[in-house]
Amino acid sequence: MKVLVTGGAGFIGSHLVDSLLDKGHSVVVVDDLSSGRREQVNPAARFYQLDIRERRLEEVFRQEKPDLVDHHAAHIDVRRSVADPLFDAHVNVLGSLNLLECARQHGVQRFIYASSGGAIYGEPSYLPCDEKHPLNPISPYGVSKLAVEKYLLFYGHAHGLGYTILRYPNVYGPRQDPTGEAGVVAIFARQMLMGERVTINGSGEQERDFVYVDDIVAANLLAMEHVDGATYNLGCGSGTSVNELFASMRTMIGYPLEPVYGPPKLGEAFKIYLDATKAQRELRWRPEVNLEDGLRATVASFDQLF
């Protein structure tokens, strides 16, 4: 199968590309390198440096004729989405629409979309959130991710596009950018290994479910066989506080300093973690890497950089 991966030079996308190639698939990568890195793209993949908003994207579809699109390219910085919602919508909504139109025009039958379970539910009315939880995003980023989910519903209904939506938890692991649109694990790892003071936003009692990148890649591979218009939460079903995460990484690294507490981030839920029972039942997916092992692998990968 030929798979087009948007955002394939980024954190999750580059791991996905590697696994697709290992499974014998042909892979095409589209990435504008605004946050991804060219050296992370497997040399066995065909690479196009291209913004998904550009008209030239249609040329890639015409030339490559992908069977499946796995869409990871996005603007993911929640704080910037709050400060500049027009930019966030331009990238995430209009860029995704351009991609969907190219898929429609060139007969793509299968589409996997990386959505955000951490952003589209808003402040939860119950935990863990399952797929039936009300969708009340409290950031423009969450609104944009939800909007694309609704566009997929339209393209499936009107044009017969087969799709699967995967709602991600907090994903962490090697290759996550610790200086850009990064997750807390990557940020903490860099600061601790560099001997810098760690800043915790808010009280540190906010909770997330952390899932290692290899498990997220595994869900994408399983979803390739279930492109049936379904939506799946991915998560471990329980929360870990930022303070607990800091303590674990501090012990692991031998970091001697106390954290500094700063203001909370606007647009983020205080506690959010996901019920992945549906993915376990229908995709036969469950996270295999526990948090301690995943953190050790992540820290080891960053230790080589710093």
Domains contained in the chain, CATH given: 2-171+211-233 (3.40.50.720), 177-208+238-274+289-303 (3.90.25.10)
Reported confidence tier of residue 50, pLDDT bands at 50, 70, 90:
very high
Burial 257-273 (b: 16+ CB within 10 A, else e): eebeeeeeeebbbeebb
pLDDT, tens only, 91-105: 999 999 999 999 999
Report, in angstroms and rounded to the nearest whole number, the Rg of the chain calculated over CA atoms: 19
- Determine what percent of the chain is predicted with pLDDT higher than 70: 98
pLDDT of residue 267: 82
Asked if 155 is an active-site residue, the reply is no
- Whether 181 shows a pLDDT value over 60: the answer reads no
User: What's the whole-number mean pLDDT along residues 229-233?
Assistant: 97
143: amino acid identity, one letter: V
User: What's the whole-number mean pLDDT along residues 31-38?
Assistant: 95
Spatial CA neighbour of 273 closest among 291, 260, 261: 291
Q: What's the start-to-end Cα distance of the chain, in Å?
A: 38
- Whether 182 shows a pLDDT value over 70: the answer reads no
pLDDT of residue 233: 98
- For residue 94 the two structure tokens come to 């209009």
Reported confidence tier of residue 304, pLDDT bands at 50, 70, 90:
confident
Asked if 13 and 36 touch (Cβ cutoff 8 Å), the reply is: yes
What whole-number distance in Å separates Cα of residue 99 and Cα of residue 113? 11
What whole-number distance in Å separates Cα of residue 62 and Cα of residue 108? 11
What whole-number distance in Å separates Cα of residue 174 and Cα of residue 276? 23
pLDDT of residue 74: 95
Question: Which is the catalytic residue, given 141, 155, 163, 172?
Answer: 141
Spatial CA neighbour of 237 closest among 202, 210, 258: 210
- Whether 289 shows a pLDDT value over 70: the answer reads yes
H or E segment to which residue 13 belongs = helix 11-22
- Whether 77 shows a pLDDT value over 90: the answer reads no
User: What's the whole-number mean pLDDT along residues 57-63?
Assistant: 98
- Whether 285 shows a pLDDT value over 70: the answer reads yes
Asked if 91 and 24 touch (Cβ cutoff 8 Å), the reply is: no
Mean pLDDT of the chain: 95
Tell me phi and psi for residue 151, to 5 degrees.
Answer: -65, -35
pLDDT of residue 126: 97
256: amino acid identity, one letter: P
- Whether 180 shows a pLDDT value over 70: the answer reads no
User: What's the whole-number mean pLDDT along residues 110-138?
Assistant: 96
Cα three-residue angle 235-213-122, rounded to 5 degrees: 40
